[in-house]
Amino acid sequence: MLLQNQQHSKWKPIIKQFEAVLSKNGVVQRKEELITYECDGLTSYRQRPAVVVLPRTTEQVAEVVKICDRNSIPFIARGSGTGLSGGALPIEDCVLIVTAMMRQILKIDLENQQVVVQPGVINNWVTQTVSGAGFYYAPDPSSQIICSIGGNVAENSGGVHCLKYGVTTNHVLGLKLVLPDGTITEVGGQVPEMPGYDLTGVFVGSEGTLGIATEITLKILKTAESICVLLADFTSVEAAGAAVSDIISAGIIPAGMEMMDNLSINAVEDVVATGCYPRDAEAILLVEIDGLVVEVAANKQRIADICKQNGARGITTANDPETRLKLWKGRKAAFAAAGHLSPDYYVQDGVIPRTQLPFVLQEIENLSKQYGYRIANVFHAGDGNLHPLILYNNSVPGALEKVEELGGEILKLCVKVGGSISGEHGIGADKRCYMPDMFTETDLETMQYIRQAFNPQGLANPGKIFPTPRTCGEAARAVTAKNFESVERF
């Protein structure tokens, strides 16, 4: 009780300063209300923040950060909380700066194909806002109906259309930032290429360790003249993987190309009931192509021929928006549908060269048998971004530890074949212990130089991305930084 009173006494004057900036409604401090913010989409780790603040403007964010800077209080930015790597996981005695109230679309410039938004704007709102004029925003994570643009910027999120159009960094032109000392600055601009250092590129994907984006200038694209989606089903995952390689080798770059295995197919049909995915297929391949009418028609036939040459049993095509949406509905719901297969699941997002797809999938199957856990595979096949969903029961003692170890082995496998430990989910708290498997000590030190230049006190999202200590080798679950000592695991 004495400790609790001391803690309350410590925070009381800080909270008053926050309330002076945000009003009492903009500060959350009651224990029962803080539970909402104790984790992001990676629910394995939980820690309540000391205080949550809800700014609405750049100036309010800056004032909050200045208070943290003056009092050496660590702070962490959070958007919608859909991240899957623990990037927005609070630490003990921290301030969580939640941008969910910053939901304004500040400017729409159709002539120059760009919009300016606050970080709390939901991904799908951007497309909804400009679709009537014939435009859309290309990056489309599966969580696009709830994930925020600020979080997408922090994690450099991808989505179905990242194969042809790139991930978030390819669509961010400029940023207004609040740096870790409360300074407001702007990087980038209204043109794609600015002279000098590419600070926009440095910031996108920095996971909140360099500051907080409060205004984001996005590039929007003109909706294609014609769009077609093909669904091909196969009797083996290897055959579907071979079709992926052959499509790219033929010089065709689809807008998106996704694959699901039998376990995922049946989970989706059980939950979403699209009626589109054959339950007896070992794999399905979803391919979206867009462009001029004549171009789409030609590529549709070429892709269908390639799939048939690789043993596709059936091919469904859809040109109208309603049927296209129906074909994509199951893939978009795949993560949610995994909850129907198991009480819990643990997802990773390693990246591999496309040519390694059959080998890696076989190795994942071998690891599944070795560890005794089923794995449902859903992935962006076109760019080799895997999303293995490891199914387990968290109530079984020791299950989470084994599942995290299995996930780590999959990431190491990705690196071994020339890939990466993350394609779009970020490193966060979950994968930081695997960074040395991919980067040399010099690489990691060079990255730290950048972090220290922006964040010399280390107050912005401490304990994320980089292994601590340097020899961190137990597992991703080892939360060894001193600020993580009280993190609870469930």
11-70: pLDDT as tens digits: 999 999 999 999 999 999 999 999 999 999 998 889 999 999 999 999 999 999 999 999
pTM over 0.85? The answer is yes
Q: For the chain, state the CA radius of gyration.
A: 23
Higher pLDDT, 79 or 196: 79
The HSE-up count of residue 219 (CA atoms within 13 Å, CB side) is 19
**What local confidence, expressed as pLDDT, does residue 469 receive?**
56
Tally Cβ neighbours within 10 Å of residue 317.
Answer: 18
If you average pLDDT over residues 213-219, what whole number do you get? 98
Q: Degrees (nearest 5) of the Cα angle 276, 278, 283?
A: 110
Q: Which CATH number is associated with domain 1-98? A: 3.30.43.10
- The count of other CB atoms within 10 Å of the CB of residue 456 is 10
Domain with CATH 3.30.70.2740 in the chain: 343-426
> Is residue 489 over pLDDT 70?
no
Q: What angle do CA 319, 322, 325 make, to 5 degrees?
A: 90
Residue 449 pLDDT greater than 80, yes or no: yes
Question: In the chain, which residues fall in CATH 3.30.70.3450?
Answer: 225-341
The 3-state DSSP composition of the chain as helix, strand, coil percent (nearest 5) reads 40, 20, 40
pLDDT score, position 189 = 86
Q: What percent of the chain has pLDDT over 90?
A: 83
* CATH number assigned to the domain with residue range 343-426, chosen from the 4 options 3.40.309.10, 2.40.50.140, 3.30.70.2740, 3.40.50.2000: 3.30.70.2740
- Largest interatomic CA distance in the chain: 75
Domain with CATH 3.30.43.10 in the chain: 1-98
Q: Do you find a cis peptide bond into 469, omega within 30 degrees of 0?
A: yes
DSSP string, 100-128: TT---EEEEETTTTEEEE-TTSBHHHHHH
Residues 6+ apart with CB under 8 A from 32: none
The structure tokens listed for 335 are 């993560």
By the 8 A CB rule, do 179 and 457 touch?
no
Predicted confidence (pLDDT) at residue 482 exceeds the cutoff of 80? no
Give long-range contacts, CB 8 A cutoff, 24+ apart: 250-253.
Answer: 250/302, 250/306, 252/289, 252/299, 252/302, 252/303, 253/163, 253/164
Interval 262-287: pLDDT, tens: 999 999 999 888 889 999 999 999 99
- CATH code 3.30.465.10 region(s) in the chain: 105-222
Domain 105-222 part of CATH 3.40.190.10: no
Q: Please check the confidence at residue 479 and state whether its pLDDT lies above 70.
A: no
pLDDT of amino acid 8: 63
CATH ID of 225-341, from 3.90.228.20, 3.40.640.10, 3.30.70.3450, 3.40.50.720? 3.30.70.3450
Specify whether the CB–CB gap between 57 and 101 falls below 8 A: no
